[in-house]
Amino acid sequence: MERPAWAPPGIDISVPSVSRIYDYYLGGSHNFEVDREAARKAMEFMPGLPKVMQANRAFMRRAVRYAVEQGITQFLDIGSGIPTFGNVHEVAQSAEPGARVLYVDHDPVAVAHSQAVLEGNEDAGIVAADLRKPQDILTSPEAARLLDLDRPVALLLVAVLHFLEDADEPERAVAELRDALAPGSLLILTHASYEGIPLPQEQAGGAVGVYRTIRNPLVMRTRQEVTRFFEGFELVEPGLVAMPLWRPDAPTEQEDPYAFAGFAGVGRKA
C-alpha cells in the first residue's frame, strides 16, 4: 500500500479512521482506501450518509456565526477532524477577525493536517487530546495561549459524542468542560440518532454495524438522551431539532430527507 506524502509517519494506514471516513463523505482527499471501503459499506445501508455530514457542517457554520453575533470570540472545537473548507476558524475569523479557535482531536492525521492548515495563523491551534480526558485539553499550553476561560467560550461537540459509549461517561466529560467555562458560554452540539432517519431502524442499524466492526462504535441516542448533555445549559430557540431546522438560512423544504437524521442544538450556560 502506497503511503501518501501527507500521511504522518507512524500511523497505521491499514485501519479505517472515523475522521478520514468523514473527510471522504464530505468529498475531501485525505482518506485511504480502507476508509473509503468502510464508508461505502456504511452507505450500502444508508446511502444518504454524505447528506447527513453536509447538514452537520452547515449547522456548525450557522452556529459559529450565531456565537459571534452573541459576542463570543473564542471557540473550543473538540473532535474537530480533518480540516475541510468552511472550518470553524474560517467562519469565525471571517465574521470576527481575531477570533480565537482551539481545535482538539486524537487522530494523528487530523492533528497533522490541522497543523499544516493553521501554520501562520496566530489565533488558532490544535491539541492532540481526547474528549474523555477534559483536563488534558483544559491544561494544555495551547489552551492557555488561546483561551481566556474567564470569558465566554463556544464549546463545539459536533458529531463526536456519538463515538463515546456510555461506559466512557460522556455526560461526565461534558459536565467537566461546562464547569470550566464562564457564564454566557455556548455548547454547540450534534448527535446521531435513529430518530429522523428516513429508513427502517434495522436497515440504518447496518450502517451502525460497520462502525462497530472498525472498532469505532457509533452510539445512537434518543432525543431525551441527547438532551441530558445540555444539563446546566439553557437551550436557545428553537431547542434540540433536526440539523436543517436550527435557524436555517433558507427554506428547508428543498433539503434531502437524510439531512433531518439526528439532532442539533445550542445551549447557553447560565
* Three-class SS of 143-191: HHHHCCCCCCCEEEEECCHHHCCHHHCHHHHHHHHHHHCCCCCEEEEEE
Domain 47-269 CATH (choose: 3.40.630.10, 3.40.50.150, 3.30.1330.60, 3.20.20.70): 3.40.50.150
pLDDT at residue number 11:
77
Contact 63, 266 (CB under 8 A): yes
- Digit-by-digit pLDDT tens for the chain (270 residues) are 667 777 777 778 889 999 999 999 999 988 999 999 999 999 999 999 999 999 999 999 999 999 999 999 999 999 999 988 789 999 999 999 999 999 999 998 899 889 989 999 999 999 999 999 999 999 999 999 999 999 999 999 999 999 999 999 999 999 999 999 999 999 999 999 999 999 999 999 999 999 999 988 999 999 999 999 999 999 999 999 999 999 999 999 889 999 999 999 999 999
pTM of the full predicted structure? 0.95
pLDDT at residue number 1:
63
pLDDT at residue number 122:
97
Contact 116, 158 (CB under 8 A): no
pLDDT at residue number 208:
96
